Structure 1
Amino acid sequence: MRNSLDPVELNAAVENVHRAGMPGLFAEVRDGDQVWRGAAGVADVATGRPVTADMRHRVGSITKTFTAAAVLQQVESGRIGLDTPIGQYLPTSVPGERGDAITVRMLINHTSGLAEYLPYAYPSLKAYPALADTGPQSLDDHRLTRFAPTELIETGVTAPAVGAPGGTPGVYSNTNYLLLAQLLEQVTGTTAERCITRNVIEPAGLRDTEFPTGPYVDGPHSRLYESWFGMVDPPRDYSVYDMSWVGPAASLISTVADLNRFYRLLLAGEIISPSSLAQMQRTVPVVSQEGKVIDYGLGLHPTEAPGQATFWGHGGTVWGGGALAMTRADGERQMAVALNLQRWNRLDSSGKPQPHPIDDALVTLYRVAMYG
């Protein structure tokens, strides 16, 4: 089989994303034993300090795969039932009929019908997904806010439901994953962060992956630039940020090398059992935060191009930062990419995000990285 890891092509694809307007990005692509790492652009637009492929990065909702894996480990040990109602474990968090109707599985695959708490916690985003009526003000207001997860959960649970428990398409909601964190705490007697660190991160040998304990990213990292659909111009640096607004739903710090290692081990059945992995890969339609219907499993979702192999992984964004990690079903081909600008698309007169050259350049990079 022809080696499809072409460094020249990959370097050009990364450089083209930078040229299209991304301040900085870095990536690792693997094919069997072969590894390519590359970076383009700057980690700091003021000083011109370059990005490097070994930088640590806030990886957003990629955290959800780690949290889901930790829950499935507890399912394997018999402490959690995948199809047990959440009300049996957390009767005060999800009381009454909904607590009886929403199962652990529905939380992991976003079919609980529980609303997203974010627009309520961040008032200037209240009109989301009507983007033209939102604004970036709350992002500044909450830089150093210490949110209590119980309050965020209560906000999501008491907000109007976005669907019936178990109904499809589901609706992507961070409320689900804060509840899963609370569930892990309940059954293990330790914080979800400590449980995930001890049972997932450390056994997988991920040396540069951790939950933040404060608003800073330790070690070499990039600044993170948020544009909020052109309303923040020039984009503002949000790399110093208290991540309690998402906790074990999206606060993890990692590297592209660690992300590839994690997904490789996960898909090899070395973090959870092969039967648990099969559960993770059972998908349902879910409406993403961007409003698209995607196939979503238990903290994993597939990507496939016509006539090509299926890849599994997750994407994530935080204020200013983004990442995507995808691994072919056989574990042999992998891609992890980190970006230091988010929501670069400006809105048209109807309030819809307009196409941007970055979009096409990223599609090309992902295609080259995954399919060669």
Structure 2
Amino acid sequence: MRNSPDPAQLNAAIENVHRAGMPGLFAEVRDGDEIWRGAAGVADIATGRPVTAGMRHRVGSITKTFTAAAVMQQVESGRIGLDAPIGRYLPELVPGARGDAITVRMLINHTSGLAEYLPYAYPSLKAFPVLADTGPQSLDDNRFTRFDPTELIEMGVTAPAVGPPGGTPGVYSNTNYLLLGELLRHVTGAPAAQIITRNVIERAGLRDTELPVEPYLGGPHAKIYEAWFGMVDPPRDFSVYDMSWVGPAAALISTVTDLNRFFRKLLAGEIVSPSSLAEMQRTVPVVSQEGRVIDYGLGLHPMDAPGPGAFWGHGGTVWGAGALAMIRADGGRQMSLAVTAQRWNRLDATGRPQPHPIDAALADFHRLAMYG
């Protein structure tokens, strides 16, 4: 007997996340032909304008699944070798022995050993991952900074390596995905955003998804608020932001409906071939940005969830915004969720994020959405 989502319970669960302190959030849960869309809270703290389920949103590192799919399409065409060294394509960006040792696969699954560039691009984050010694100043300073991806890549490549090429556990690093963007440009002659738009976003039939050029969110959207672990109090509006700091790693704008459609098409073999999808689902251990060891494939990973059935998907955060998309392996149940605040946990005396009521409320919503 199918355990379908109960609309009244989902409405109550999403409202509980708002009551726990989340300014606004919205989601879509699908189970076969049954669809629930819901929202709770406000899209603007100052005006009280309500949030709605159809709003566009910055979805962060869910972008990586789109970029990985675009690369896998080029692998299928023979333009890219999945296990070819990146130095074959981009010797000027990853020179010498490292360029010979790091493969395209290692970039996609974060086992390249290349460091994260963000602490070098944002000076107030220099102490990351020691959160207590970081600060939000650089976030404000760089709202309208137009970063050159090759300069960001150089920061990551010249920083001390976080591991040997191909070593596990790998370490999650946005440097890998900026390199994949440059790889797409190299083999196609077109900007990565154009290739991802044409070959992934349009192929999936997504109407409200884009890799932005402007720092503004177009169309109906909620404001997004960054707290930086209580160091920004009250949390500040970060809705307007040049997204060149993450590009093909995390710049995507989408809706919960589009995200569900994309992952449904991906797992059905309609974006990449079944053999490419199988490669995307081959996992290795990787240390996440939160410091946890997770299983990670090629821009796709199994989601931690209690109960039966494997879920695949990706989460994402940028300054002020977060999102999560997941789909059961058989395609039967899926959920996409967007939240309008980030880093709401304050730090304890040891500098670690303290539990917050939002965390428990979100976990309850996830369980209900996935398992009924």
User: Counterpart amino acid of 1:4?
Assistant: S
Identify the residue that residue 12 of structure 1 maps to in structure 2: 12
Q: Which amino acid is 2:300 matched to?
A: L
Q: How many residues align?
A: 372
- Percent identity between the two aligned chains: 81
Partner of 2:366: 366
User: Which position in structure 2 is the counterpart of 1:273?
Assistant: 273
- CA shift at 1:307, angstroms? 4.2
Cα deviation, residue 51, structure 1: 0.4
Matched letter for residue 266 of structure 2: L
2:348 matched residue in structure 1: 348
Report the secondary structure of 1:184's partner residue.
helix
Cα deviations across residues 16-67 of structure 1 (Å, max 9, x unaligned)? 0000000000000000001000000001000000100000000000000000
Structure 2: how far apart are the matches of 1:307 and 1:131? 33
Q: Which amino acid aligns with 1:193?
A: A
Cα deviation for residue 305 of structure 1 reads: 3.4
Q: Which amino acid aligns with 1:153?
A: I
What's the CA shift for 1:203?
1.2
For residue 122 of structure 2, what is the aligned residue in structure 1?
A: 122
Alignment of 1:173-322 (within 5 A): 173-322=173-322
Kept after mapping to 1: 8 A contact 2:30/2:335: yes
Q: In structure 2, what residue type is equivalent to 1:269?
A: G
2:258 partner letter: D
Q: Could you tell me whether the CA contact under 8 Å between 2:5 and 2:371 is conserved in 1?
A: no
1:97-176 matches, within 5 Å, as 97-176=97-176
Measure, in 1, the Cα distance between the counterparts of 2:138 and 2:325: 29
User: Which deviations, in whole Å up to 9, do the C-alpha atoms of 1:59-87 show, x marking residues without a partner?
Assistant: 00000000000000000000000000000
Instruction: Provide the rounded CA distance (Å) in 1 between the counterparts of 2:265 and 2:342.
Output: 29
Q: Hey, what's the Cα distance between the residues in 1 that align with 2:187 and 2:99?
A: 17
Residues of 1 paired with 2:306 and 2:143: CA distance? Answer: 42
> TM (normalized to structure 2)?
0.99
Coordinate RMSD, CA, aligned: 0.7
Contact 2:85/2:99 (8 A) holds in 1? yes
Q: CA deviation at 1:310?
A: 0.5
Shift of 1:302: 0.3
Matches within 5 A, 1:22-171: 22-171=22-171
Q: Which runs of 5+ in 1 are unaligned?
A: none
Name the aligned partner's letter for residue 287 of structure 1: V
TM-score, length of structure 1 as denominator length: 0.99
Deviation at 1:2, TM superposition (A): 3.5
Q: Per-residue deviation at 1:304?
A: 4.4
Shift of 1:159: 0.3
Moved segments of 4+, more than 6 Å? none
How many Å apart are 1:213 and its aligned residue? 1.1
Deviation at 1:343, TM superposition (A): 0.2
The superposition leaves residues 163-196 of structure 1 with CA deviations (integer Å, 9 ceiling, x where unpaired) of 0000000000000000000000000110000000
